[in-house]
Amino acid sequence: MSTDKLTCKQVARILSDGLDAQMPPAERTRLRLHMVVCEACRNVEQQFDLLRRLMRKAGPAERDDIPDDER
Amino acid sequence: MSPLERELAALHKPLLRYAKLQLRDQAAAEDAVSATLLAILERPDAFRGGSSLRTYATGILKHKLVDQIRRCSREVAIEPLDEQSLDEALDSLFNETGHWCERPVAWVEPERAVEQAQMMKVLERCLENMPARLARVFMMREWLEKETHEVCDELGITANNCHVMLFRARMLLRACLDTNWFQRTTS
């Protein structure tokens, strides 16, 4: 196992890969270490998770008549 | 027109929009939606009203889209990816030591966003604006909920290529929602 610290760029890719395949245990440990110290990457992890939930919920719905600027 | 037919007529456009988002091909999308509507009209009793007709039709559409992709994913002409400019766009988010140039901040009230129809429209626009190949792979994975190996097999791409494309798609969508929804709601 490499003890090199992960960069945020590597972490973003690992977080994405982790949503699609099992992560090797060694990589998971390095990832968790990074997440403990990096708030930006913690935010990205939550945002990737939210993206997944949004996509699972997405689909044709009764909203074709919602004006674009209605919030 | 029967009540069911009227409801299906109202569903036609929304279904087509999602079929187009997934397939990126008008004719193929129309075929998938027609097959969906036909399946419901042929067996109206199969819809028992346990869920909404929308949910029911969407479930059938997803199956038809998978069929369509299996049949003709290699035939549909989809614009090639400009890999270089995508890589450059991604690289520009990080400095030379691999840290964020602009550190991503937490999204405000993400749970509320999930419930908002308008948020879904922003998401759809972000998907529409994404390069077609990325959107197709990403939607197969996240909307049709296929396993990664199924996405790779059905589109005839390598696992690594698949992971790279999913990563790029997530980064683009994350940035798109950040700019077009979450920063707007906080400003």
Q: What is the mean pLDDT of each run of 10 residues along chain A (71 residues)?
A: 80 96 90 96 97 92 49 37
- For residue B81, the model assigns a pLDDT of 78
Q: Report which of B166, B159, B160 is spatially closest to residue B143, judged by C-alpha positions.
A: B166
The verdict on a CB contact (< 8 Å) between A7 and B103 is no
- Tell me what pLDDT residue A67 has: 46
Boundaries of domain holding A57: 8-63
Query: What pLDDT score was predicted for residue B64?
Result: 96
Nearest Cβ partner for B117 among A50, A56, A61? A61
Q: How far is CA B9 from CA B29, B68, B174, in A?
A: 16, 22, 34
Q: Please state, for a pLDDT cut of 90, what percent of chain A lies above it.
A: 65
Total tally of structural domains belonging to chain A: 1
Whether residue A37 lies inside any domain: the answer is yes
CB contact under 8 A, B167 and A56: no
A54 lies in a domain?
Answer: yes
Burial of A45 (0-12, 13-18, 19+ CB in 10 A): buried
- What is the pLDDT at residue A31? 95
pLDDT at B76: 59
Backbone angles phi, psi at B100, to 5 degrees: -60, 135
Given the structure tokens 């949503």, which residue do they identify?
A19
Is A32 domain-assigned? yes
Q: Is residue A31 part of a domain?
A: yes
Name the stretches of chain B with pLDDT < 70.
73-78, 184-187
Contact call for residues B113 and A57 (beta carbons, < 8 A): no
Q: Which amino acid is at B155?
A: L
Predicted TM-score of the model (pTM):
0.87
* Nearest-angstrom CA–CA distance, B24 and B30: 11
Residue A2 belongs to a domain:
no
Instruction: Look up the ipTM and state it.
Output: 0.87
Say if the Cβ atoms of A51 and B114 lie within 8 Å.
no
Listed in sequence order, the residues at least 6 apart from B76 whose beta carbon sits closer than 8 Å to its beta carbon are: B23, B24, B25, B28
- Residue A62: per-residue pLDDT: 53
Within 13 Å of residue B55, how many CA atoms lie on the same side as its CB?
8
Looking at residue B77, its pLDDT comes to 62
Q: Are B146 and B140 in contact (CB under 8 A)?
A: yes
**Is A23 domain-assigned?**
yes
Which of A51, A57, A64, A69 has the most B C-beta neighbours within 10 Å, making it the best mutation to test the interface with B? A51
Q: Let me know if residue A49 belongs to a domain.
A: yes
Who's near A38: CB < 8 A, 6+ residues apart? A8, A11
Residues of A in contact with B123 (CB under 8 A): 54-55, 58
Predicted confidence at residue A61, as pLDDT, reads 72
- Joined together, the tokens standing for residue A67 give 């004006």
The C-alpha atoms of residue B102 and residue B77 are separated, in whole angstroms, by 37
Residue A18 is assigned to a structural domain of this protein: yes
CB contact (8 A) between residue A7 and residue B139: no
Q: List domains and CATH numbers for chain B.
A: 3-73 (1.10.1740), 94-186 (1.10.10.10)
- Distance, in angstroms, between A10 CA and closest chain B CA? 8
Beta strands in chain B (DSSP E): none
Residue B112 sits at φ, ψ, to 5 deg, of: -70, -40
